[in-house]
Structure 1
Amino acid sequence: MYKALVFADRFFTPAVFEQATSQVPFWEGVQRVYYDLGWPEVPFCYGERLREYVPYPQEALKEVEEAEILVTQMGLVDEHLLQHAPRLQAVGCLRSGPVNVDHEALERRGIPLFFAPERSVEAVAEFTVGLFIAARRGIVRACREAFLGIWSQSSYFDYALAPLPLSQVTVGLIGFGKIARRVAQLLGPFRVREVVSYDPFVPQEDMAMYGVRKVSLEELLQAADIVSLHVRYTGENRKMIGEREFRMMRPGSIFVNTSRGELVDEEALVRALQRGVPAFACIDTCCEEPWCGKHPLADLQNVILTPHIAGASRSTVESAALEIAQAIGRYFEEAYLFGKKEAR
């Protein structure tokens, strides 16, 4: 019988993984040992090489000694842990980008890493489109005013200030990966005027399949009423949206970031919003998470600011848990068939 050490948390619960493994016959022969690391109540830590992780308890070093499988979501998987895992054969991480796992240490051991690059596509795309609507229709601002006892109906029925419907809006998607493609699909029923995208790695033919026109970054910024960021952070693209890019945006435009905070120069964004272009911003990810005190954007009225919750849907963790359970199961079964692992 194999043994799996599982770093669970308040989102990736033991019950979620048990439900996933019940659908994969391989896991009937796997002993599972769980540690609840407490995320998100326990915040992330950031190291020199690994980031966005929650440390494991010292007892896990003893438990991992006999484990062939390690599964985590936010739990740290570093070289120190791996040094205590002589029998380890596979690692699964329920994230689209496993930044909490030491890839190099795994490669040196020849241990495969399985992760879930598409786990939050649906949830983040839905959240993003929701921000488009909330920002354009002033839903959050109207709610704040109502809570203050202000009947502000007259300011919303002012023709000069009333927003255009989405059918008369151009949406610009910076990056055209899985989430941006799903956003484009969700916008279909709204019959937006046009969806354009900037992504140097995606050909026009691929974008055309989604009814999207490929443009340069400059053209996108100058043409779009809504600019939405969907780029994977690499380190090299840090602050790719800054003072220059904000100055190119249209008056009345909206800037949305449900990608990564490090992609945006936040100080430049604050200055731009104070100038009034863009007119509004929806920010779900920030450079420093969690915030240390009040975030500078929170002092502005033309902002929707949320604490990195775009992916907070049950489908996100359930689909990832099943994907990882299936991937590890296939790996061991194929390895057994080809004589690379001991039989159960």
Structure 2
Amino acid sequence: MCQFAHKPRIVIVNSPHPNWDYEEKELGQLAEIKVVRCGSYDELFSLCRDADILMVGDIKHVPLTRDVLKRFPNLKLISVYGVGVDAIDLNAASELGILVANAPEYGVEDVADHTLALMLSLLRRIPMLDNELRKRGWNNIRANIKDLREKFGAFRRLSNLVIGLIGFGKIGRAVAKRLQPFGCKIIAYDPYVPDHVFQQHRVEKSDFESLLSSSDVVSIHVTLSRETYHLIGEKAFQLMKDGSMLVNTSRGEVVDEEALIKALKSGKLLGAALDVFEKEPLPKNHPLTKMPNVILSPHIAWYSEEAMMEQKRETVLNVKEFLLGRRPPYLVKFPK
């Protein structure tokens, strides 16, 4: 890959990890390592200007735009602690000769587990029932199923439902695998996945509109791009079945939250379970926090101790292979 006239300089920016022992162990003999936190461009430029390699965590407040990337004359590689690369101008990186790599496999099992947990919690109203039991007591709930139905909607048996997966990459397939023992019908939309993959996973391929109109639960598993920004908006909600539900563990900006809130208030949607939001952290008094038919978690679907270590390994491996003159294994494809 790249030859350096000096010992390469790695700057770790806004890492999600509490320590950097593994990075030091794997990369310390190959490069100088500096760890920084940057909340502004002034900090980014002053602390990272001489970097040959950036290893980045959460940079949504300091996105690497074209103008920003031009101010890093030595930068050769950006390795992301995570999957999403929407905070990096990939076209500019390509033109400037900067490689971009990510960690695409580290949290697949965990996000799939969390998705299923949210889906089951939503279908069975687990958080809502927990809250009702604590506030109203056992007898007040059990004695009045009609009141419960009016408040939270009719409960449905999972084996009788159609589950629609938007996106059928690694996570979508892992979710399908977990759903199959329940006996529900699973359909999926992903224009970039060949037919034999759907067949291999015993999932029915669908187009976007048909999936929305026939699914009882829609679960989102796509990356954020220009194509997927507000993919689920007012038009999509109009196409969805009355009384259907939405689960999102992908990226918040894929869903138009104003349109979602409108669909929930009108009763078009019976409920939603969300791990990601358009604006993060979610504001304390956001309308979604006040809706009894919504389950929320704080962008934590990816987390387990095992996933944390896998994320480190993938991010570090990209850098190590690059420093050893080899191709990073998780290079991001640049737009054409």
1:61 is aligned, of 18, 36, 46, to: 46
Residue in 2 that maps onto 1:4: 10
1:255 is aligned, of 232, 246, 259, to: 246
CA deviation map 1:76-116 (0-9, x unaligned): 44567656654443321112122333434533442322212
Q: Which amino acid aligns with 2:40?
A: P
Q: Which amino acid aligns with 2:33?
A: R
Q: Which amino acid aligns with 1:119?
A: Y
Residue in 1 that maps onto 2:162: 170
**In structure 2, how many angstroms separate the alpha carbons of the residues matched to 1:257 and 1:95?**
17
Distance verdict in 2 for CA 1:314–1:80, change over 3 Å: farther
**In structure 1, how many angstroms separate the alpha carbons of the residues matched to 2:70 and 2:216?**
52
Residue in 2 that maps onto 1:270: 261
Residue in 2 that maps onto 1:31: 32
Distance verdict in 2 for CA 1:110–1:239, change over 3 Å: closer
CA deviation map 1:112-133 (0-9, x unaligned): 2221233332222111111111
**Paired residue total:** 313
Residue in 2 that maps onto 1:121: 108
Distance verdict in 2 for CA 1:73–1:250, change over 3 Å: same
Distance verdict in 2 for CA 1:127–1:62, change over 3 Å: closer
Residue in 2 that maps onto 1:240: 231
The answer on whether the counterparts of 1:123 and 1:315 sit within 8 Å (CA) in structure 2 is no
SS of residue matched to 1:195: strand
Name stretches of at least 5 consecutive residues in structure 2 with no aligned partner.
1-6, 328-336
Residue in 2 that maps onto 1:189: 181
The answer on whether the counterparts of 2:233 and 2:260 sit within 8 Å (CA) in structure 1 is yes
Residue in 1 that maps onto 2:82: 95
**In structure 2, how many angstroms separate the alpha carbons of the residues matched to 1:222 and 1:132?**
18
**In structure 1, how many angstroms separate the alpha carbons of the residues matched to 2:167 and 2:133?**
37
Matches within 5 A, 1:65-76: 65=50, 67-75=51-59, 76=62
**In structure 1, how many angstroms separate the alpha carbons of the residues matched to 2:312 and 2:197?**
30
**In structure 1, how many angstroms separate the alpha carbons of the residues matched to 2:134 and 2:252?**
29
Matched, 1:153 2:142: yes
Displacement of 1:304 in angstroms is 1.2
The answer on whether the counterparts of 1:242 and 1:268 sit within 8 Å (CA) in structure 2 is yes
After TM superposition, the structure 1 stretch with the greater mean CA deviation from structure 2, 54-63 or 304-313, is 54-63
Displacement of 1:32 in angstroms is 1.7
Distance verdict in 2 for CA 1:204–1:63, change over 3 Å: closer
CA deviation map 1:23-79 (0-9, x unaligned): x4x543333221245xxxxxxxxxxxxxxxx436638625642x4332111144456
Name stretches of at least 5 consecutive residues in structure 1 with no aligned partner.
38-53, 337-344
The answer on whether the counterparts of 1:156 and 1:162 sit within 8 Å (CA) in structure 2 is no
Residue in 2 that maps onto 1:204: 195
Matches within 5 A, 1:329-344: 329-334=320-325
Residue in 2 that maps onto 1:226: 217
**In structure 1, how many angstroms separate the alpha carbons of the residues matched to 2:48 and 2:9?**
10
Displacement of 1:156 in angstroms is 5.8
Residue in 2 that maps onto 1:41: none
SS of residue matched to 1:5: strand
TM-score by length of 1: 0.78
Displacement of 1:334 in angstroms is 2.3
1:111 is aligned, of 94, 98, 103, to: 98
The answer on whether the counterparts of 1:204 and 1:213 sit within 8 Å (CA) in structure 2 is no
The answer on whether the counterparts of 1:129 and 1:186 sit within 8 Å (CA) in structure 2 is yes
Q: What is the identity percentage for the equivalent residue pairs of Structure 1 and Structure 2?
A: 32
Distance verdict in 2 for CA 1:300–1:197, change over 3 Å: same
After TM superposition, the structure 1 stretch with the greater mean CA deviation from structure 2, 135-144 or 194-203, is 194-203
RMSD between superposed Cα atoms in Å? 3.0
Q: Which amino acid aligns with 1:118?
A: E
**In structure 2, how many angstroms separate the alpha carbons of the residues matched to 1:301 and 1:127?**
20
**In structure 1, how many angstroms separate the alpha carbons of the residues matched to 2:276 and 2:171?**
15
The answer on whether the counterparts of 1:253 and 1:278 sit within 8 Å (CA) in structure 2 is yes
The answer on whether the counterparts of 2:222 and 2:228 sit within 8 Å (CA) in structure 1 is no
Q: Which amino acid aligns with 2:275?
A: D
**In structure 1, how many angstroms separate the alpha carbons of the residues matched to 2:266 and 2:156?**
22
Residue in 2 that maps onto 1:215: 206
Matched, 1:18 2:21: yes
CA deviation map 1:189-214 (0-9, x unaligned): 33x32110122222332111111001
